[in-house]
Amino acid sequence: TAIAMYIEEHYLAPPNFKKLLSTKLKLLVANGKLTKVKGSYRIATSLMPPVVRRSSSMPFEEGKQKDSSKADKGDIKILTKSQIDAELVKMRSMTAHEAAAAAARAVAEAEAAIAEAEEAAREAEEAEAEAEAAHVFAEAAFKALKCRTLRTW
């Protein structure tokens, strides 16, 4: 592989280096962290969930809706009991049209939060796979350097 050739060109690799590297890469492919495409290794994307994107307009939406997908992380409000009671009173006095609009806004905010969480999970999985690949490369380079150092003595 290109990885092995690079290390062998720049460092003195142990005699079984290609076998060690091949075994480690096969393990990463078997674990699903890497995929092999046309003889090259890539970070696996098959385990990542698809992004949920819905662009349907809400029929009961009134006024300008806040873009909850770009909401600040500190946007969570913790309500007191009296605030919750006031919200319940307001909900009981809503018309069906107002209640439907409020429910539609709540669903849209929940869907945006789900999409944001899925994106964060996908990014975390990608970073983990990249870190694992970098770790394998570093281990191989260290072994090659160690073998080179031992041969010079």
Tell me the per-residue pLDDT of 115-149, one tens digit each, with 9 for 90 and over. Answer: 888 888 889 988 888 888 889 998 888 888 887 76
- The proportion of the chain whose per-residue pLDDT surpasses 70, expressed as a percent, equals 75
| pLDDT confidence bin for 55, thresholds 50/70/90 | very low
> For the chain, what percent of residues have pLDDT higher than 90?
0
Question: Which one, of 151, 140, 153, 133, lies nearest residue 41 by Cα?
Answer: 133
Residues 102 and 96: their CA atoms lie apart, in Å, by: 10
Maximum average pLDDT range among 7-21, 86-100, 117-131: 117-131
CA angle, 80 as apex, 78 and 82 as ends, to 5°? 145
pLDDT at 67 > cutoff 80:
no
Lowest mean pLDDT of 3-12, 32-41, 71-80, 130-139, name the range. Answer: 71-80
How far is Cα 53 from Cα 51, in angstroms, rounded to an integer?
Answer: 6
pLDDT for position 70: 44
